Structure 1
Amino acid sequence: MAIMKKIKLENNVNAINKLIKHIENTTYEQLPQTTTDAVKTFVLDSMGVGISGSRVPSVQQVKAGLATWGTAKHAQVWNTGEWLPANAAAVMNGYQIHNQEWDCVHEPAVVHPMAVILSALMAYGQRENISGKQLILGVTIAVDVATLIGASATSGLKFFRPSVCGCLGATAGIAAMMSIRGDTLKNALGIAYSQLSGTMQAHVEGSPMLPIQIGLNASNAINAVDMAQAGFSGPKDILEGPFGYFNLFEDSYDLGYFNENIGQHFQIEKVSHKPFPTGRAGHGAIDGLLTLKNKHHFAIEDIEKVTISATPLINRLVGRPIKENMDVSYAKLCNGYIAATALITGNVTVQDFEPAVLNCKTRLDLGKKIITQLNDCQDVNALAPVCVEVQLYSGEHYKIALNAILGNPARPLSRTAQIEKFNVACMSAKKALTTQQINKLIFSIDELEQMQNINQLISLTINNH
């Protein structure tokens, strides 16, 4: 509590009013080219993983659960093309974006910014026939709101920050792209805040409820805007009030990052790619081990022990023990399985989490040799640095220290790697896209600011054959 009082006195700022001013005053014409390019980069990435997410068997259960939400045909499910009410389509597409842990992340905030945001904005936007420019502005503002709130937390995750911050961001993004201002904007944010949901219990248990929390909050954002436009009122002091976000959802906060960045640096430019379909906390192990193996050419049979020294957050998120009969959600968040897979196959792909592979004895045995332990980092929200060490039976010892993990803006994926990921994702979908369809999608996203109606973009995700 001392931190909160100190920051309030020093900055003399009401964070929600600053955000509202930012939402109301930022226009598409003000966005630098680097920002619009970053939006297109992560729209491409997020649509790719969302198309791929159609392959997950539990998608059918989610669709069945949404069948009672109404018969309106506002927006479509990516890849399979079913028409649903906008809020139901947002649930579905949000679930598909996050259900394989392959979507991008803003590391300072520990928020997957595009999962809730893109699914909500595109479902709402399809219903309202928005343009590409409107979508670009909406995504920019939405990511700012979600990540500036998330990055202000100085305590560890209790609630699922990607879903709760994502909902506030998505609400702001819809308002920005639809030019919603004044009391209606304030009410929409307050109504969204009143619906926030998602805790870390699903993560601890490796439950498939984790990505559903993304989808439900995408729906909540659309519902909030609709309610506010109907004239309904919501609470206003939703960040610093006695039961506002910072006092209820987090144990402590510091508005330093918020105040330094709002209106100065668009946060979409600080988002990290996830090259591999696992929790981001496992990427340091993959990155380090593949680098060492490619350099030193050791065989997996020669490995006595692998030690991954990592931050408190990494230990908390993926330090769980490898075990037999893991389900997919558990394995994606298990450093032992993730690292063993990388060592054995030279990569980690969505196919590595098929049920038939999860009990591979070679992977399980190697995974038991992999230890995740704490390093000296004291930041409870940090996803780096990571140190990876490999000890061989011969006595040889290899070590690499990583201050930034592959995909981070400090070590970005090349355009070639981005396109390769998109191709692989689209080809892994329930209804695999053809090369021609994939190339049309890439071209359309590259030219997003020229698009008059984003329904054109959604139609390119769908394979009717």
Structure 2
Amino acid sequence: MGTTRTLAQLCTEIDFSGLSHEVVDRVAYLCVDFFGVAIRGAATESARCVQRAMAEVYDSSPKDMPVVGTDMQLNPSAAALTVGTAAHSLELDDVVNEASLHPGVAVFPAALCAAWMAKKDGQDLTAAVVAGYEVMVRLGKAVDPKAHYSQGFHPTGTCGTFGAAVAAAKVMGLDSEGITNALGIAGSQAAGSMEFLAAGAYTKRLHAGWAAMSGLNAALLAKQGFTGPDTILEGRHGFLHAYTTSPVPEYLLKDWGMRFEVLNTSIKPHACCRYKQSAIDGILYLKQKHSLAPEDIEEMRIGILEAGFSLVADPLETKQDPHSIVDAQFSMPFGAAVAIVKGRASLSEYTEKNLQDTQVKELMTKVHCVRDKALEADFPRKWPASVVIRTKDGQELTTWVDTPKGDPDNPLSWDELISKFNELSADYYAEEDKAGKVSRLQGLSDEQPDIDHLLKILSHRSSP
């Protein structure tokens, strides 16, 4: 049996009854995070562009599914595109270091839309999410993130299409043959160009929504008997040959079931590219420890991982002068400067106003990023950063962050995650309603009505 067929068969064997409490709890945890970023992301201009486009194509009907974060109701395919794009618009969505991708924004929309269509419950959704994350993350590792990036591909968009297809296919109850076909169909839709970096375009945000929609459509086609190549991953023209120069195919099946990838998923506390977050943790630590003010700083030198250098550090003159929020999300100089000036690097700091802040602009010119071979020792398992701040009075302050906040080895607690959800949903839910919404998501796998009921509760706006 080939790799694609074997992977499909293994996915059929993931069943809710066999999942540990730790895994079930983790899916609920990731679900709370997903809904928080999706709700707030729906208010961004990039998400509203997608909403307006879908409104032109589709008539909103009470028979359609509610689109969380909006007042819209759309057919499932359009909903997957809309919600996935919104959830990836803030750079606050979950991430897996070793695969360098964001699984939640592709897998959850596809699984939720499929569950709405099939009238499935939270237990079915939980098993599907576990399978979707497993395939997406393993593919991310197998294409070698650094090589995949160097080819110009964004792994959330490419690998995400396969993860979304598996999640949707499992919710629909497809057998091994059906999941194999869904994977084969997904392979002809896997896309995501890194050229968004050239001009701070919105297209990166679309990658997640497109992956969710494409994966859902792949599963729907497979359900109706449409076929896809059963060697889409390993074949001569398959994904692992066409999308990377250094495939590592053993990652697809290695140690299957030993530790599900949902447990290896990180949550972001800062609203920017994950390659910046260890450095921001270190900068905030030094700022607090030494009571640093912007005027104290002569220079900041930040060690960045090679795989992320072209994303957040190069070319320096561009990164020191971001012109859009997307530019800022991928600018280490902006992240460093705003952390010193504002004492945070959350969503409220990544704003047009701060792009023009004189202190931030001046401090960005003092930020220099360097490649540091010592950082590479445990990559991609760990994403460390080094920080050296030289002050005007001659001090040299240093720190090394091995594990950024939000990683599985340094996680956000449930209380910290709920605080993140509450902040993100502040304009959508009244304060007194937030606890009830979170409770519904925490009890995702408890006995409850189908996902349609859950989505209606979460889509009920009660803004203060």
Name the TM-score class by shorter chain: over 0.9
1:439 paired to 2:435 = yes
Query: By how many angstroms is 1:464 displaced?
Result: 5.9
Measure the CA separation in 2 of the matches of 1:204 and 1:114. 26
Measure the CA separation in 2 of the matches of 1:178 and 1:229. 8
Task: Report Cα offsets for 1:352-384 as digits up to 9, x if no partner.
Answer: 222232111110100111111111045885762
Task: Report Cα offsets for 1:303-329 as digits up to 9, x if no partner.
Answer: 001111121122121114445561111
- For 1:34, the aligned partner's letter is E
Structure 2 counterpart of 1:405 = 404
Q: Give secondary structure in 1 for the equivalent of 2:87.
A: helix
Structure 2 counterpart of 1:33 = 21
Pick closer, same or farther for the CA change 1:169–1:244 going to 2, 3 Å. Answer: same
Matching residue within 352, 356, 381 for 1:355: 352
Pick closer, same or farther for the CA change 1:333–1:397 going to 2, 3 Å. Answer: same
Give matches, 1:184-199, under 5 Å.
184-199=178-193
- For 1:295, the aligned partner's letter is K
Query: By how many angstroms is 1:88 displaced?
Result: 0.4
Report if the CA contact (8 A) 1:311-1:382 is conserved: no
Structure 1 counterpart of 2:76 = 86
1:131 paired to 2:125 = no
Report if the CA contact (8 A) 1:80-1:464 is conserved: no
Query: By how many angstroms is 1:52 displaced?
Result: 0.7
Q: Give secondary structure in 2 for the equivalent of 1:233.
A: coil
Measure the CA separation in 2 of the matches of 1:187 and 1:243. 16
Measure the CA separation in 1 of the matches of 2:288 and 2:251. 38
Q: Give secondary structure in 2 for the equivalent of 1:390.
A: strand
Moved more, 449-458 or 71-80: 71-80
Identity across aligned pairs (percent)? Answer: 25
Report if the CA contact (8 A) 1:76-1:83 is conserved: yes
Structure 1 counterpart of 2:169 = 175
- For 1:309, the aligned partner's letter is G
Give matches, 1:246-325, under 5 Å.
246-320=240-314, 321-324=318-321
Q: Give secondary structure in 1 for the equivalent of 2:262.
A: helix
Report if the CA contact (8 A) 2:4-2:180 is conserved: no
Query: By how many angstroms is 1:156 displaced?
Result: 4.1
Pick closer, same or farther for the CA change 1:204–1:39 going to 2, 3 Å. Answer: farther
Task: Report Cα offsets for 1:102-154 as digits up to 9, x if no partner.
Answer: 10101101110000111111122222221000110010000000001111223
Measure the CA separation in 1 of the matches of 2:462 and 2:70. 7
Measure the CA separation in 2 of the matches of 1:366 and 1:263. 47
Measure the CA separation in 1 of the matches of 2:278 and 2:347. 18
Query: By how many angstroms is 1:68 displaced?
Result: 4.2
- For 2:353, the aligned partner's letter is A
| TM-score, normalization by structure 1 | 0.93
Structure 2 counterpart of 1:7 = none
How many residue pairs get matched? 450
Task: Report Cα offsets for 1:195-244 as digits up to 9, x if no partner.
Answer: 11111112343211111121112111111111111211111101111111
Moved more, 325-334 or 175-184: 175-184
Moved more, 447-456 or 101-110: 447-456
Query: By how many angstroms is 1:75 displaced?
Result: 1.9
- For 2:24, the aligned partner's letter is T
Q: Give secondary structure in 1 for the equivalent of 2:254.
A: helix
Give matches, 1:200-211, under 5 Å.
200-211=194-205
Report if the CA contact (8 A) 1:134-1:178 is conserved: no
Measure the CA separation in 1 of the matches of 2:126 and 2:192. 27
Report if the CA contact (8 A) 1:69-1:88 is conserved: no
Measure the CA separation in 2 of the matches of 1:177 and 1:161. 23
Measure the CA separation in 2 of the matches of 1:219 and 1:277. 24
Q: Give secondary structure in 2 for the equivalent of 1:55.
A: coil
Give matches, 1:120-159, under 5 Å.
120-154=110-144, 155-157=147-149, 158-159=152-153
Measure the CA separation in 2 of the matches of 1:261 and 1:50. 32
Moved more, 132-141 or 184-193: 184-193
Give the 4+ runs in structure 1 shifted more than 6 A.
Answer: none
1:449 paired to 2:437 = no
- For 1:113, the aligned partner's letter is P
Residue ranges of structure 2 left out of the alignment (5+ in a row): none
Query: By how many angstroms is 1:43 displaced?
Result: 0.4
Report if the CA contact (8 A) 1:289-1:342 is conserved: yes
Residue ranges of structure 1 left out of the alignment (5+ in a row): 1-12
Task: Report Cα offsets for 1:130-187 as digits up to 9, x if no partner.
Answer: 1000110010000000001111223241311011111101111112222211322221
Measure the CA separation in 2 of the matches of 1:323 and 1:307. 13
